Amino acid sequence: MGTPMTAEKGALEAAEAFIHAIQWSEHTTIWTLLSDAGRTTALSVAVDNGLDRVTAARIRDNVSDPRQLEDFFTRLLGGLRRDLRSVDIDQLEPGVLTCHPSNNSIDVELTNPSLLPGTDHWAAGHLVLTANEAGEWCVERLVPRIAGR
């Protein structure tokens, strides 16, 4: 995987790319940056919300109809934006990284600038990233911090 600094840099770059993809509605990039577990979770949530299991399997196996894939990606982006509804998505930034060597993951804090005097940034949630077999960092999940919690 390389040195810890290299791992942290790679995870930070992946987190920045994921945030940018949400900000700019680059839904295919979001899918590309998700880990296998992240994709499985996204498809499971979609099935729970009415996506046909056959369509989900086709998306998972990369053999779906382009219109179905586009619809799924659009809904995935919408879900991520809903998860982040308590923050200004355009101001979202990666913050502190926390490494977890025991499960080869890195948490990347997500922050938003504060408009309150005397405060700098406040937590908007975090991304959990894991390394795939090629050593590339992928987003496993977004854990939003809901306002007031």
Q: What are 45-81's pLDDT values in tens digits?
A: 999 999 999 999 999 999 999 999 999 999 999 999 9
CA–CA separation, 106 vs 104, rounded Å? 7
Of residues 61, 71, 37, the one with CA closest to residue 141: 37
Question: Which own/partner contact pairs does 117-126 have at CB distance under 8 Å and 24+ positions apart?
Answer: 121/93, 121/95, 123/95, 124/84, 124/86, 124/87, 124/92, 125/83, 125/84, 125/87
| Amino acid 114: pLDDT | 74
Q: Does domain 4-144 have CATH number 3.10.450?
A: yes
Q: Higher-confidence residue: 80 or 9?
A: 80
Cβ atoms of 30 and 18 within 8 Å: the answer is yes
The model's confidence at residue 99, banded by pLDDT at 50, 70 and 90, is confident
Mean pLDDT of the chain: 88
Helix (H, G, I), strand (E, B) or coil at 116: coil
pLDDT surpasses 90 at 34: yes
pLDDT value for 3: 45
Question: For residue 1, is pLDDT > 90?
Answer: no
Q: How confident is the model at residue 147 (pLDDT cuts 50, 70, 90)?
A: low
| Domain boundaries, given as residue ranges, for the chain | 4-144
What pLDDT is attached to residue 25?
A: 94
